[in-house]
Amino acid sequence: MIYVANPIYDSVFKYLMEDERVAKTVLSALLKKDVVSVELRPHEYANETNDKISMFRIDFGARIRTGENETELILIELQKTWVETETLRFRQYLGAQYSDKNNIDKQKGDHKGFAYPMVTIYIMGHRVGDIDVPVLYVSHKAYDYDGHEVKKGMPDPFVESLVHDSIIVQIPLLHGVINNRLDKVLSVLDQTKRDKDDPHLLCLDESVYADNNDMNYIVHRLTAAASNPLMRQNMNVEDEYYSAIEDRDTAIMSRDKKIKEQDGKIKEQNGKIKEQNGKIKEQDGKIKEQDGKIKEQDGKIKEQREQLNQQSEQLSNLKRILKEQGLSDAQIEQMMSNK
């Protein structure tokens, strides 16, 4: 067992991939093609960081074997990230490749030429949705209106200029099982081999790579990186950076949780207030109904008073007439009582 530098760190990954032999080995395994030569493109690597993301990218020009004496130049944009990020970041870098005039092969087609074919490789430090395979190949094909694949004339340089294939590697799904050439290459990224006391190191079984000179070369290069003080310092810096991001994200998650709890309480209170308002509205309706009945009763009482007043006035008038006719008060009272 040997201890090597962990290439999950950007500084180690850059040190590994800037070596042409390593790049050819890794890209040949990923592309499942014979990569004859590799060159770093202008602005070949960059470590893009801010308070939300770290993304490492390398742009290659790779010449692959297409026949016994034939090769083809393709562009490879390799992007690596530790943390989950917006796909917009990947699209922005991809857009820069499409708009770069240096990526046009003017020897093909008319005087304006066509773009070199391109493959994008994404090495992810996190899982992508529910996809459960460690390496995902996304290839484009052409179809006619009826859904039949168009093969005649394909691949066409015009079409290849406008579309590209992608390879997505999910590091968390690399679990040490080696079934093929690619598994062996990617095994140096397998985080289940990380040393429990020092995340900067992976513990590898050197005998697994004994029969492969290219893999031995990669392992020895990672061993050299592990003993490099500057490399260890760079890994410490990355740890501090991501620790700060993790602390910030934890604080944000805690804050969001509290806000969510408060929103739940506010929603519950609003529900109770709404319920109380409903009861108050119902009571107001009953009061309004009672007021209507009282008003109706008041109207009837008023009507009855008016009738009594009329009757009283009529009796008074009758008494006055009878008195004018000479009847005494006793006679008038007797007549009234008889009625």
What's the pLDDT at 51? 43
Structure confidence at residue 286 (pLDDT): 92
Report the Cα 151 to chain-centroid distance in Å. Answer: 36
Amino acid at 129: G
Query: Residues 112-133: what's their mean pLDDT?
Result: 81
Residue whose token pair is 């003080």: 229
Q: In the structure encoding, which two tokens stand for residue 289, read together? A: 């109904």
More confident residue, 213 or 232: 213
Task: For the beta carbon of residue 156, count every other beta carbon within 10 angstroms.
Answer: 14
- Scanning 57-178, the segments in alpha helix (DSSP H) are 87-99, 157-162
pTM exceeds 0.85: no
Q: What percent of the chain has pLDDT over 90?
A: 15
Residues with Cβ < 8 Å from 226, sequence gap 6 or more? 3, 4, 5, 200, 201, 232
Q: Average pLDDT, stretch 79-99?
A: 65
Place of tokens 């590994």: 16
147: left (phi over 0), alpha (psi -120 to 50) or beta: left
Residue 273 has pLDDT above 90, yes or no: yes
How high is the pLDDT of residue 110? 55
Residue 60: strand pairing partners: 40, 76
Per-residue tokens: 259: 């806000």
Minimum mean pLDDT range among 23-27, 123-127, 132-136, 219-223: 123-127
* 3-state SS track over 243-298: HHHHHHHHHHHHHHHHHHHHHHHHHHHHHHHHHHHHHHHHHHHHHHHHHHHHHHHH
Mean pLDDT along residues 207-232: 87
Helices (H), the chain: 10-17, 20-31, 87-99, 157-162, 181-186, 213-226, 229-324, 329-338
Strands, E assignment, 87-217: 104-105, 114-115, 118-124, 135-138, 165-170, 201-204
Q: Does residue 193 or residue 41 have the better pLDDT? A: 193
* Domain locations along the chain: 2-227, 242-339
Query: Mean pLDDT across the stretch 214-240?
Result: 84
* Tokens standing for residue 240: 């501090």
Check whether 295 has a pLDDT greater than 70.
Answer: yes
Q: 124-133: per-residue pLDDT in tens?
A: 888 788 888 8
Q: Which helix (H) or strand (E) holds 60?
A: strand 54-65
Q: Would you state the torsion angle of the CA atoms of residues 251, 255, 257, 262, taken in this order, to the nearest 10 degrees?
A: 160
The DSSP 8-state label assigned to residue 24 in this structure reads: H
Mean local confidence (pLDDT), 292-296 = 91
